[in-house]
Amino acid sequence: MFKFSIITTCYNAEKYIKETIESVIQQTEFLNSKCELEYIIVDGDSKDNTNSIIQHYSKLCPQIKHFIEKDEGLYDGLSKGFKHVNGDVMGYLNAGDFLNKSAFSVLKKVFSNNQINWATGLKIIYNESSEIIKIQIPYNFRSNLIRCGVYGKYLPFIQQESTFWRPKLIEDLDIHYFKKLKKSGDMYLWYTFAKKYKLHIINSYLSGFKYHDNQITFRETGSTDLYLEEAKNFVDPIKIKDFFYIILDSLPWFLGRNITNIFQSLNSQFIDFISSDKEWNKKLNITKTKESIFCWVCDYSKTNGEGITANLFLEYILNKYNLKKTNIFVRNYNSNTNLEKMEKINPIKLASLNFADRYINPFIGIPYLWYKYLTGNKVAYINFLPLWNFVIFLLLPPNTILGPITGSQDYNKNIKNWEKFFRKYLMPIQFFISNIILSFRYKNLHFNTSNLKSILFEKVLKKSKFNFMHNLYLTKQEVNIDEKDIDFIFYTRFYPSKGTEQLVEFIKVLRKNYRIVTIGEKTNLDGIEEYGLISREKVLNLCKKTKYTIISSENFYSLFCFDCISRGVKVFFDENLDFDKEFLDKKQIFPITFKNINDTKLEIEKILNAFR
Residues 6+ apart with CB under 8 A from 116: 110, 200
d(CA 566, CA 478): 6
Please give the Cα distance from 423 to 356 (Å, whole number).
Answer: 20
Pair 6, 92: CB distance under 8 Å: yes
519 contact partners, CB below 8 Å, separation of at least 6: 489, 490, 491, 492, 531, 532, 533, 534, 539, 542
Residue in 478, 452, 473, 479 with CA at minimum distance from that of residue 464 = 452
Burial of 280 (0-12, 13-18, 19+ CB in 10 A): exposed
Task: Give the three-class secondary structure for 251.
Answer: helix
Q: What is the DSSP code (8-state) at residue 552?
A: -
Strands across the sheet with 546-550, in order? 529-530, 516-520, 486-492, 546-550, 570-574, 589-592
SS3 (DSSP) at 429: helix
User: ∠ at Cα 20 (17, 25), nearest 5°?
Assistant: 120
- The reported pLDDT for the residue numbered 245 is 93
Which secondary-structure segment (H or E) carries 229?
helix 225-231
pLDDT score for 290:
64
- Cα–Cα distance measured from residue 141 to residue 146, given in angstroms and rounded to the nearest whole number: 7
Q: Which amino acid is at 21?
A: I
Q: So what CATH class is 477-611?
A: alpha beta
Q: Domain 3-238: state its class.
A: alpha beta
Q: What is the pLDDT of residues 306-352, one digit of tens each?
A: 888 888 899 889 888 888 888 888 887 667 777 777 766 544 344 45
To 5 degrees, how large is the angle CA 157–CA 333–CA 439? 115
CA atoms within 13 A on the CB side of 7: 26
CA gap 591, 550 in Å, rounded: 10
What pLDDT is recorded for position 422? 73
Per-residue model confidence (pLDDT) at position 219 = 43
Supply the pLDDT for residue 92. 95
Which residue numbers in the chain have pLDDT < 50? 217-222, 346-351
What's the pLDDT score for residue 521? 81
Three-state DSSP class for 544? helix
Global confidence as pTM:
0.67
pLDDT at 25: 95
Q: What is the pLDDT of residue 187?
A: 95
Q: Where are the domains of the chain?
A: 3-238, 259-473, 477-611
What pLDDT score does 349 carry? Answer: 41
